[in-house]
Amino acid sequence: MDSRHAMTKHLLNLEGQLQGSPWLAGRSYSLADLTWACTLLRLEETGWLEYYCKELELVAIPKYYDRLKREKNWYPAIDSVQSPTIIKATKALKYALENDKRLSSLLYS
């Protein structure tokens, strides 16, 4: 099983778990949600979150990710410890993808 197939399975499972519930443990934000916050952030930084959401027609995950980013724990757990190297690389990747459509095709096809 390749990594795209594995991530597809994980995201479809997450999408299903979020049906009718704002958080993974039901009505309460939990450590499980914080764990997914890290994964979704990395997918967003590399452009894969947008790819999977479009490709798999995910509806609950983008809403869930927005809720995660509004949580009071987001800044101390995620934003305050962002690596300058990752921030720089994320910006460089975004710039490269916007300016070279061949790169986008190579990565996401």
Please check whether residue 90 lies inside any domain of the structure.
no
Please tell me the predicted confidence (pLDDT) of residue 77: 77
Please check whether residue 70 lies inside any domain of the structure.
yes
Please check whether residue 102 lies inside any domain of the structure.
no
Phi, psi of 28 (to 5 degrees): -115, 135
Please check whether residue 20 lies inside any domain of the structure.
yes
Please tell me the predicted confidence (pLDDT) of residue 63: 97
Please check whether residue 42 lies inside any domain of the structure.
yes
Please check whether residue 41 lies inside any domain of the structure.
yes
Residue with tokens 């930084």: 45
Question: What domain count does the chain have?
Answer: 1
Domain around 49: 3-82
Q: How far from 71 is each of 16, 30, 50, 59, 75, CA to CA, in Å?
A: 22, 11, 21, 19, 8
Please check whether residue 27 lies inside any domain of the structure.
yes
Tens-digit pLDDT string for the chain (109 aa): 599 899 999 999 999 999 989 999 988 999 999 889 989 999 999 999 999 999 999 999 999 999 999 988 888 877 777 788 888 998 998 899 899 989 888 888 7
Please check whether residue 32 lies inside any domain of the structure.
yes
